[in-house]
């Protein structure tokens, strides 16, 4: 088995034994969407713009929450030490681990998006573009979330710090994603944003694991 499969397999297994790590962000997603639908007048009456923005922002926050625990357990129990000591291809392992994390944390949230869209009375025509942008968007959110988690490894109560580090980095994808969906809803051209969001996702997939692997090494080195 190669390093990708080994890391993927392990992360999925551990995730499977901790269903709350996936379920809590899902519950958070639904609760926040409900709160907004109840309190913000006109979310569901207005054109689709506000509803799209709400879905994106809430998905962003839930993903950040879900990825905040990445590598924390490995750091505590010494697995990370083994990973760094024995593994020649840490970059590939990080890829495996992050991919698994996307399946654990983002896919359940993406499954909830139609429910959220329905709660916000989003036109069904917008759904396809929503998914076309949310999939690469959630990949970028997960990668940056894991980056933030590795930056703060070993720092107790890292939740708020993580948010401060990661949220500014989310802005481009958020704007391009929301913009593409809103323009599609008003039948304006949105190809630019679509290309942009996929380009950012490709760049993030290629380069961020380097940074994450380097930080994992550093976390063991000092």
Partner 1 sequence: MTDSSEPVLLTVAGLLVEVAERPLLTDFNLKVEESALIEIKGPNGSGKTTLLRYLAGIRRAHKGSIDYRDHDFAYVGQKPGLNASLTVFENLKWLTRNADQDISDSNLLLALSDLGLKSMRDTPVGALSAGQVKRCGLASLLALNAKIWLLDEPLTSLDEAAISWLKVAITSHRAARGATILATHAGLGLPDTTTIDLNAS
Partner 2 sequence: MNWFTQTFHKMGSPPFFYRGAKVWVTWLYVIGLGSLLIGTVWGLGFTPADRLQGDSFRIIYLHVPAAHLSQLIYIAIAVAGFVFLVWRMKMADVFIVSAVWLGAWLTAFALFSGIVWGIPTWGTGWVWDARTTSVLVQLFLFLGLIALRTAIPNSQRGALAVAVLAIVGVINIPIIKYSVDWFTTLHQPASIQIGNPISIDPSMLWPLLVNTIGLYALAAGVILYYMRINVLRRERNSDWVRDIVNSE
Question: Does 24 contact partner 1 by CB under 8 A?
Answer: no
Question: Does 158 contact partner 2 by CB under 8 A?
Answer: yes
Question: Does 124 contact partner 2 by CB under 8 A?
Answer: no
Binding region for partner 2 (CB under 8 A) out of 21-29, 54-62, 116-124, 182-190: 182-190
**Of partner 2, partner 1, none, which one sits near residue 193, judging by CB under 5 to 8 A according to partner kind?**
partner 2
Binding region for partner 1 (CB under 8 A) out of 33-41, 82-90, 143-151, 174-182: 82-90
Question: Does 175 contact partner 2 by CB under 8 A?
Answer: yes
Backbone angles phi, psi at 101, to 5 degrees: -65, -35
Closest by CA position to 48, among listed 111, 107, 116: 116
Question: Does 57 contact partner 2 by CB under 8 A?
Answer: no
**Tokens for 127?**
């759904």
CA distance 95 to 216: 13
CA distance 63 to 61: 5
**Tokens for 200?**
């950012």
CA distance 213 to 93: 9
- Tell me, by CB under 8 A, how many residues bind partner 2: 33
Output Rg (C-alpha) for the chain, integer angstroms.
18
Question: Does 214 contact partner 1 by CB under 8 A?
Answer: no
Write the secondary structure of 134-164 as one string of H (helix), E (strand) and C (coil).
HHHHHHHHHHHHHHHHHHCCCCCCCHHHHHH
> Which residue among 35, 78, 168, 206 contacts partner 2 (CB under 8 A)?
168
Question: Does 78 contact partner 1 by CB under 8 A?
Answer: yes
**Of partner 2, partner 1, none, which one sits near residue 22, judging by CB under 5 to 8 A according to partner kind?**
none
**Of partner 2, partner 1, none, which one sits near residue 86, judging by CB under 5 to 8 A according to partner kind?**
partner 1
State the minimum distance, in angstroms, from the CB of residue 75 to partner 1.
Answer: 10
**Of partner 1, partner 2, none, which one sits near residue 189, judging by CB under 5 to 8 A according to partner kind?**
none
DSSP secondary structure code for residue 104 in this structure: I
Backbone angles phi, psi at 34, to 5 degrees: -65, -45
**Contact criterion met (CB below 8 Å) for 52 and 178:** yes
């Amino acid at each position: 088995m190669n390093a990708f499969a080994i890391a993927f397999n392990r992360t999925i297994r551990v995730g499977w034994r901790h269903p709350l790590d996936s379920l809590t962000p899902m519950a958070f997603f639904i609760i926040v969407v409900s709160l907004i639908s109840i309190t913000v007048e006109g979310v569901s009456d207005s054109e689709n713009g506000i509803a799209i923005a709400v879905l994106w922002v809430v998905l962003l926050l839930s993903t950040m929450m879900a990825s905040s625990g990445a590598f924390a357990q490995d750091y505590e129990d010494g697995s990370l030490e083994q990973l760094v000591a024995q593994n020649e291809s840490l970059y590939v392992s990080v890829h495996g681990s992050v991919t698994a994390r996307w399946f654990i944390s983002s896919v359940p949230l993406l499954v909830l998006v139609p429910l959220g869209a329905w709660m916000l009375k989003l036109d069904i025509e917008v759904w396809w573009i929503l998914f076309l942008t949310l999939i690469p968007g959630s990949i970028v959110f997960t990668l940056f979330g894991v980056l933030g988690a590795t930056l703060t490894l070993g720092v107790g109560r890292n939740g708020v710090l993580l948010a401060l580090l990661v949220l500014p980095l989310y802005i481009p994808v958020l704007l391009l994603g929301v913009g593409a969906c809103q323009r599609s809803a008003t039948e304006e051209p949105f190809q630019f944003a679509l290309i942009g969001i996929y380009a950012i996702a490709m760049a993030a997939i290629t380069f961020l694991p380097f940074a994450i692997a380097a930080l994992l090494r550093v976390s063991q080195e000092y």
